[in-house]
Structure formats: C-alpha cells, structure tokens
Amino acid sequence: MPAARSPVASWALILAVTAVASLGFELLGLPSPVLFGALLGGMAHALTSGRALGVPVLAFRVGQGLIGITIGSMVSLEALSRMRSDLLPIVLVTLGTLAASLGAGWLFSRRRDVSGVTGVFSLVAGGASGVVAVAHELGADDRVVTVVQYLRVLLVLVAMPVVTAAVFHPERGLGTLAQGDAPWPTDLAYVAVALVVGLLLARIGAIPTATLLGPLAVAVALSVGGWFGFDEAAVPLLLQWLAYLLIGVQVGLRFTRASLAAITRMLPVVLALIAGLIGLCAGLGALLTVTTGVDGLTAYLATTPGGLFAVLATAADSGSDVTYVMAVQIFRLLVILLLTPPLASWLRRARRG
C-alpha cells in the first residue's frame, strides 16, 4: 500500500495538480477543464497515498447547488415561449433522445462490471455536469459516469464542426452569443439567494438529488420571474470553477488502480456506443426539421447530445436560431435531471427483481 502523506501535503498536491491540469485543458479547448483538472488532482492523491480523503459534506453540497444554479440561470421566458408552437415535436424528440440513451446505457450495462444505474447515467445525453454531480447519490459509480459523460461531450464537440461544415455549409461570423449583463453584486446576490433557499428546500425534499434540484428550481424562479432584477443574473465564472473543483476532486478521490484499469478496458465499447448515440440524435434532428419546418442546422444543433455552450456559440456564429436551440437543449436537460431520481429507483428495483 502506498505510504500516507500528511493532510496538508495531500491537499497541496491535489490543488497543484488541479491548477496545472485545468490550465492545460483550458489551453487545449477541452470541455469543463476545471472539473477534469480536479478529477486528476483527486486521482493524484488517491493513487499515490494510503490516506483516505474526502470533500466535506457541506462543501460538496455547495458544489452541487452551484451546478444547479448555473443550469437554472440559463432558463428564460424567451426560450420557453419559443417552444410553444412546436411543443409536441420537441417533447417527442426529447423522449426519443432519452430512449436512445437508455438503450445505449442498457447495452453498456451488459458488461458484468457495469451496473444498470451506472450504464444509463454514463450515457444519458445532456446535463453532464448535473448528472456527474448526483451520480454517487443515485447509486451509480461516479468514476465511470464522469469519464464516459465527458468523453461523450468531447466527441460531440469534435464531430459538431465537421458535420456543420460538411453537411450544412453555413456562413460564419454572423452573430455572437449574448452574455448576461447584470453587475457582479447582482450576480452574487442571485447565487446567494438561490443557494441558501435551494439548500433549505433540499433538506425538506426526500429525493437524493434535492441538493442540485432545489437551488436549480429557485434559480429558475428568480430568472423567469425577474425578481430583484435577477432575470439577467448569472453565476460568476469563479464560482462555477469552485463547483467543478469540488465535484471533480470528490470523484477523483474515489479512484483506485483497479477502477482505473477497469475503465480503460471499457473504452472501445463506450466509444462505439457514443458514436451510435450521436448518429441517432442527428436523425432526431432531421425528424425535428420535417415536423416543425425549422432549418436543418438549427434542428441538428438543438438535438446534439451534449456540449451546450459550444452548441450555442456555433448557432450564434452561423446565424442559426439560438433561442430555439437553447429552448430544446435546456428542456431536454431539465427533463433528464427531473427524471434521474425515479429512473435510478426503478433501475435498482429491476436489478433486485
């Protein structure tokens, strides 16, 4: 067994590896660089020391809450109203994406070392940060879920510019993605209210993902209601980084040499399943075009299984309907996060049966 190092030395190693890795991932343009950097930081300790460490429970809940607020802040009345005329096709496409995710997850769980809960939440399309944040509470192996979820996002980001250029040939530089313009005190007040009220609600809720869904619900109410001028508020980037750091480190600290080797052996199967999922979602995008009349590029971007911010930036740059893309993507994300607790419960009962 590796020798134990002191807690101070352990956390120093974790933070140093996190900082260096996050900067490297940022320079490479990888998704969620701080989460992946923190994941490696936690692994650096877990794989080289005999001392068990963990993120304090309250700190981890704060991380989950900040992820929920980040998601909730993206919901707007404009995006929701944009869905009204095409609600039925959007719901059907969302259910189709969920069915494709469940099918891919079921195939993944045919491996003897992957449970049904882990298989499904590893490949559910959309809301990677939210799913990763609650995976352990749902009974899934959050190490596998984290790696597979962000591998999916990475492959979506690699495929998206290729498909966009080769299939749709859009013009470039037609627009930019609008940013929230609330002053930073408003942003901080928004986060504080959503976090405190959301976590208080989570203590009342009886579902395992309440620490994410409670702040998310409060954030949506504040954003959509426009209370206190919070309709333009967003989560400051530093607080988003803090959330990713807390989630990533906690997952990384659970790694062992055996689990790392097992995940490496899974990669060929995972890559094939992700490729199939991307193809099926592209087909659902084509179906959305036929049933709604929205242009092909907008429909494709609206149904990509991940990479929300890159998808929105691509939509703005190409002159696509950014609001429509955001509406469909956020709707799917919210549906998935709301369905995770009952879905996890059903999968566990099915396994025992």
How many whole angstroms separate alpha carbon 31 and alpha carbon 242? 16
Q: State whether the Cα torsion 17-130-110-107 is positive or negative.
A: negative
In a domain, 3, yes or no: no
Q: Where residue 180 falls among pLDDT bands split at 50, 70, 90?
A: low
Residue 98 within a domain: yes
**Residue 180 belongs to a domain:** yes
pLDDT of residue 248: 93
How far is residue 100's CA from residue 85's CA, in Å, rounded to a whole number?
Answer: 25
What is the signed CA dihedral for 283, 284, 286, 287, rounded to 10 degrees? 130
Contact 63, 247 (CB under 8 A): yes
How much of the chain, in percent, has pLDDT values that exceed 90?
61
Note whether residue 49 is domain-resident.
no
- Specify if 288 maps to a domain: yes
Mean per-residue pLDDT, 236-242:
93
* Count of positions (residues) in the chain: 353
> How far is Cα 255 from Cα 139, in angstroms, rounded to an integer?
16
- Work out the average pLDDT over 159-188: 80
Q: How far is CA 143 from CA 19, 43, 111, 297, 344, in A?
A: 20, 10, 16, 34, 17
The two tokens of residue 131 are 């799913």
- Residue 353: its pLDDT value, please? 55
Quick check: 178 pLDDT over 60? no
Q: Which amino acid is at 190?
A: Y
Give the pLDDT mean for 9-14.
94
Query: What is the full DSSP assignment across 252-299?
Result: HTT--HHHHHHHHHHHHHHHHHHHHHHHHHHHHHHHHHHHH---HHHH
For the chain, the average pLDDT equals: 89
| Residue 247 backbone phi and psi in degrees, to 5 | -70, -45
pLDDT reading at 2 higher than 70: no
Judged by average pLDDT, the poorest of 196-205, 214-223, 227-236, 272-281 is 227-236
Domain count, the chain: 1
Cα 76 to Cα 175: distance, rounded to the nearest angstrom = 20
Considering the domain boundaries, does residue 51 fall inside one?
A: no
The mean pLDDT of 207-233, rounded to a whole number, is 86
**309-339 tens-digit pLDDT:** 778 878 888 888 888 998 999 999 999 998 9
Does 145 fall in a domain?
A: yes
Name the residue range of residue 236's domain: 63-243+263-352
Is there a domain that residue 21 lies in?
no
Whether the CB-CB separation of 336 and 124 falls below 8 Å is answered with yes
pLDDT in tens, 240-278: 999 999 999 999 999 998 999 999 999 999 999 999 999
